[in-house]
Structure 1
Amino acid sequence: MNPVDQAIISQALLSAAREMGIKLYRSAYSSVVRDGKDASTGILDCTGQAVAQSDELIPILVGSLSITFRACAERYPVETLREGDFYICNHPYHGAHHLQDILIFVPIFFEGELLGFSASVAHHLDIGGGAPGMNTSATDYYQEGLIIPPSKYNLKADWQDDGPFQRFLAANFRVPEMTIGDIDSQFAACAVGADRVRELAAKFGPATVKAAMSEMIAYVERRVRAAVRAIPDGTYFGEDCLDDDGLSDEPLAIKVKLTVAGDQLSVDFEGTCPQVKSNLNAPFASTVSATLACVKSVLTGDDVPFNEGATRAVSITAPRGSLLNPNPPAPVRARMEAAFRSYDVVLKAFGAAIPDRAVAPGYDCTTGFCLSHLKDGRFRVFLELRDGGYGGSAKGDGCDAVAGPLSNCTNTPVEQIDADYDFFRIESYELRPDSGGRGRHRGGMGSTRTYRILEDGVRLSIYADRFKFPAAGLAGGEPGAPGGCFVHRGDEVITVRTKDDLPLRRGDLIVLASGGGGGFGEASARDEAAIKLDQKQGYVTA
């Protein structure tokens, strides 16, 4: 390849993936996609290997594109595809994460030749199941929503103009205008990606574009292998736990053994607890995605895109029947809690291997917070993912009140929520002083958000973690504050569990507090000027 052409095409493909992401969330209907940006997009080559993926959206979603694609292509070979066809899947045991994440793959043809695929995935507000938005009591994944196995349909024949597949899906959703609207935004994003790849083929030729895709994958593999080679050979360990499974008080252990041998990295989650009856199980695709996201963030920089090349230098295993590789039909709706803990244990293992890059654990959990209301025969579903503090590191303090490193969701503006929902209002939103763990570099702070319920019949569903076991400090740093959720009803205060579901009354005030990240280094070594600045800004008290 001409290196100039390679650079131009590579950056154009990355730009196309980012543009796809912008198209997706700007045309989306639901707040969770439109404002929270709980979605991702990418370009795959003609064999389904990920080439370029949007780096501003959700890391946990990008690592499984190729896995889900292979499940679809195995059932419907790529050579059978025609213009207008698309793959679709949300099956958690065929590469997807949980049923709310629907993946779509659209083939890109140029003058009759298959160049690759544009792909999009988004989290949908409601896809049916046993409860609006979130069924926290599900005992198998059939109760969590409508299952779309690896499938092939045609956009014109099956979807557009109120096609049969669209009508079938809409009949199973409580908020069909939101869910169908968001799926349409996924198709729009894929159309943009396909157009950009065809433009490149028209300018450089299809053979050159395909060669550039192969080189992009090879480049990432070389960079990851070089980074692994720089780590001292050996075996390193990490361990953490989830608060509980929502059914008992027993913590759920997650362990990892990280082995470095030359330029090959092996990640083995042997010793992780067995799968549970509640919805905390993480499908293996989520475990793979979380692990690769950690490897990418620790070992490479912004100049290395995330694609199939990263997977070639890393082997990932988890015991079958464990929390990180469950057997069907285990429910998986809240799989992000286990995925985050797998990220944390790999991060701890890297901290032992390369201490100069060590980072203390952050709050690192997804607080899935859902309010739903049925009035006059119409469901309203509100869903958002709350923030938390990052851990301090050898280089500086942790970030305050941001999404965890696997979710990257943005803050949903209070004004937008007020405009969209009339059965509750947000009364306060602020940082939590003293929630970051003390240390030479403190952990990031969490936040507190309060919701006033304005109607009877509202239902709260939540899954979260780190209400019991906060983010630990590192190298002598102190732990961050745990999170918590409480319902204030007159003089009564109801403690909400990390995995809970309860009816609300008009006038109830929900206080949802996220925790902070762990501190790094001894607190006595913190710079005096940094302490005074934290006190001046109200981040810590005297």
Structure 2
Amino acid sequence: MSKIDDIRLQVMWNRLISVVEEQAMTLLRTAFSTSVREAGDLSAGVYNARGEMLAQAVTGTPGHVNTMAEAVGNFIAAIPRQQMLPGDTYVTNDPWLGTGHLHDITMCTPVFKDDALIGFFACTAHIVDIGGRGFGADGKSVYEEGIQIPIMKFAERGQVNETLVQMIRTNVREPNQVVGDFYSLAACNDVGRDRLLEMLEEIDLPDLEKLGDFILTRTAAAMKERIAGLPQGSWFNEMMTDGYDTPIRLAATVSIEAERVLVDFTGCDPVSRWGINCPMIYAKAYACYAIMCVVAPDIPNNAASLACVEVVSPVNVVNAPRPAPVSVRHVIGHMVPDVVLGALAQALPGQIQAEGTAALWNIQISARPVEGREGRRAEVLMFNSGGSGARPTLDGLSATAFPSGVHTMPIEATEHTGPIVIWRKELRPDSGGDGEHRGGLGQIIEIAPAEGHEFEFSAMFDRTRVPPRGREGGQDGAAGSVALDDGTPLKPKGWQFVPAGRRLVLHAPGGGGFGDPGKRSAEARALDRRRGYVTDT
């Protein structure tokens, strides 16, 4: 292949990324749920005819992108080729074939050119409700957690499956929002398909095979070169998390070999009886992300780069089989990168950030009028973040979602969705672990029912018993807490009640510090005091 061909294919690769970015932006702009349009809790990508991911949108979360990369193969396995038709759209929320829990809807759309199947577009989004107990950790099996949608057709030849739509409407608390998001997901795939076909016509390519081969071969070569430059060997790390009612141990062995990295989760605690378990597809997604952050942050994330990381586990809390409860699987899944990074820190001392809050401090609120009063009922989902761990050369990021990468949801947008008032949302002083580089700060958040209302809420919080650990001599971050404004302590997980006139007060954790605190500069400490990040003298 000539250099001119290489340049031309590189330009087309960039064009393909712009196609999936437009795909993702379509979902952001048309979604009904605030978790999608405000927080960006989604993914979008394009695949070749064999279901190998060629490109992903920058917008989205690693948990959605990397599970979706595997999920498209599951769609192909479930739907015979002769039943795939132009105008089709396929759907599932199967936790073990999709993205790990029922609240995520994954849609897959085949792309046909001149009657030949040339590829697929796929997208995923978190919806506000899927029925059952609601978004929470209280279920004892997946059957309690909502309606399950096996891999099936959402639309055939452009005609929507109205029976499926009616079943969804009947089983969820917010039917208009949920069904609206289903249509948004389908529309974003349609936009991707149309833009891809326009691109192929413009550059006179019959399919994605030549471009796909260019993308995957170069990515694989780059990944193998990076892995070859790492120290070879095996390193073990373990970490305690809050669990539901008792702490849960996570463990990982990371082995670096000549052309691959192996992550083995042997040593994690058994499957929990509560809905915090993680299907393997989701644990694998975040393990791969952790490796990519260190080994190849500048190499595109696609089927070839993901193939260089192998993840294995016996049956345990990160490899929970059906029908284990998995609704709040992100709490364990978001901890996976810190476990993996802790092992890599032994292989690459001085180069890996400290532990952070990791798991999002999500809260699902089910608001209603007080008995005898008029008002509105609503389901409100709010995403919050604690501090991330300090980095080898920089302080940690405050109130930032790592590893999920979702945006902070604006207070105004959250209040608009239901009868609640957010009285306070500010950085939490003294929550970042001390060190040469300070951990990121957590948040203090106060939420109350609007006048004449009360609410139940699902707590999905962690790092309240075991704070994020510092690294290389850095101190631990502050643990989180959950309480009413009168001081009544509440549980970090499970559905609980906030009566009218009371406020829910959340103290999100801070990230661990990095390096010897004695090496922190006087200028940095003075700046922390001026900004109110630190209150001691």
TM bracket, shorter-chain basis: over 0.9
1:109-188 equivalences in 2 (<5 Å):
109-130=112-133, 133-155=134-156, 158-159=159-160, 163-188=162-187
CA distance in 2 between counterparts of 1:298 and 1:503 reads 42
CA distance in 2 between counterparts of 1:261 and 1:453 reads 54
SS in 1 for 2:321: coil
Q: Is the Cα–Cα contact under 8 Å of residues 242 and 337 in structure 1 kept in the other structure?
A: no
Structure 1 residue 531 displacement after superposition: 0.8
1:289-300 equivalences in 2 (<5 Å):
289-300=285-296
Structure 1 residue 156 displacement after superposition: 5.5
1:15-414 equivalences in 2 (<5 Å):
15-130=18-133, 133-155=134-156, 158-159=159-160, 163-207=162-206, 209-244=208-243, 246=244, 248=245, 250-302=246-298, 304-320=299-315, 322-374=316-368, 379-405=377-403, 407-414=404-411
Q: Is the Cα–Cα contact under 8 Å of residues 382 and 414 in structure 2 kept in the other structure?
A: no
Deviations 1:88-123 (A, max 9, x none): 111112243100001000011122122211111000
Q: Is the Cα–Cα contact under 8 Å of residues 456 and 504 in structure 1 kept in the other structure?
A: no
Range that drifts further, 218-227 or 2-11? 218-227
CA RMSD of aligned residues (A): 1.7
SS in 1 for 2:524: helix
Structure 1 residue 374 displacement after superposition: 4.0
Structure 1 residue 151 displacement after superposition: 1.7
SS in 1 for 2:208: helix
Structure 1 residue 373 displacement after superposition: 2.3
Q: Is the Cα–Cα contact under 8 Å of residues 430 and 449 in structure 1 kept in the other structure?
A: yes
In structure 2, what residue type is equivalent to 1:418?
E
TM-score (norm 2): 0.95
Q: Is the Cα–Cα contact under 8 Å of residues 21 and 189 in structure 1 kept in the other structure?
A: yes
In structure 2, what residue type is equivalent to 1:235?
S
Structure 1 residue 432 displacement after superposition: 0.7
Structure 1 residue 196 displacement after superposition: 1.7
In structure 1, what residue type is equivalent to 2:19?
A
Identity over aligned residues, as a percent?
29
Structure 1 residue 207 displacement after superposition: 4.2
Structure 1 residue 218 displacement after superposition: 2.3
SS in 2 for 1:171: helix
Residue of structure 2 in register with 1:444 after alignment? 440
Deviations 1:145-177 (A, max 9, x none): 1101122342556527xx222222222111011
CA distance in 2 between counterparts of 1:140 and 1:514 reads 29
Structure 1 residue 396 displacement after superposition: 1.0
In structure 2, what residue type is equivalent to 1:481?
A
Structure 1 residue 418 displacement after superposition: 2.9
Q: Are the structure 2 counterparts of residues 538 and 241 from structure 1 closer, same or farther at C-alpha, using a change threshold of 3 Å?
A: same
SS in 1 for 2:23: helix
Structure 1 residue 532 displacement after superposition: 0.8
Structure 1 residue 512 displacement after superposition: 1.2
Gaps of 5+ in 1: none
Q: Is the Cα–Cα contact under 8 Å of residues 31 and 181 in structure 2 kept in the other structure?
A: yes
In structure 1, what residue type is equivalent to 2:120?
F
CA distance in 1 between counterparts of 2:167 and 2:482 reads 37
Deviations 1:448-481 (A, max 9, x none): 1111222344111111100010100000000001
SS in 2 for 1:357: coil
TM-score (norm 1): 0.94
Structure 1 residue 67 displacement after superposition: 2.2
SS in 2 for 1:515: coil
Residue of structure 2 in register with 1:480 after alignment? 477
2:416 to 402, 415, 419: 419
Q: Is the Cα–Cα contact under 8 Å of residues 129 and 135 in structure 1 kept in the other structure?
A: no
In structure 2, what residue type is equivalent to 1:400?
S
Structure 1 residue 378 displacement after superposition: 6.7
SS in 2 for 1:524: helix
Deviations 1:457-515 (A, max 9, x none): 41111111000101000000000011111112xxx422121112112211111111211
CA distance in 1 between counterparts of 2:160 and 2:376 reads 24
Deviations 1:235-286 (A, max 9, x none): 1111112112x2x3x3211111111121221111111111010011000010
SS in 2 for 1:462: strand
Residue of structure 2 in register with 1:3 after alignment? 6
SS in 1 for 2:400: coil
SS in 2 for 1:20: helix
Q: Is the Cα–Cα contact under 8 Å of residues 158 and 165 in structure 1 kept in the other structure?
A: no
Range that drifts further, 493-502 or 141-150? 493-502
CA distance in 2 between counterparts of 1:389 and 1:66 reads 29
1:524 to 499, 518, 522: 518
Q: Is the Cα–Cα contact under 8 Å of residues 469 and 482 in structure 1 kept in the other structure?
A: yes
Structure 1 residue 208 displacement after superposition: 6.1
SS in 2 for 1:91: coil
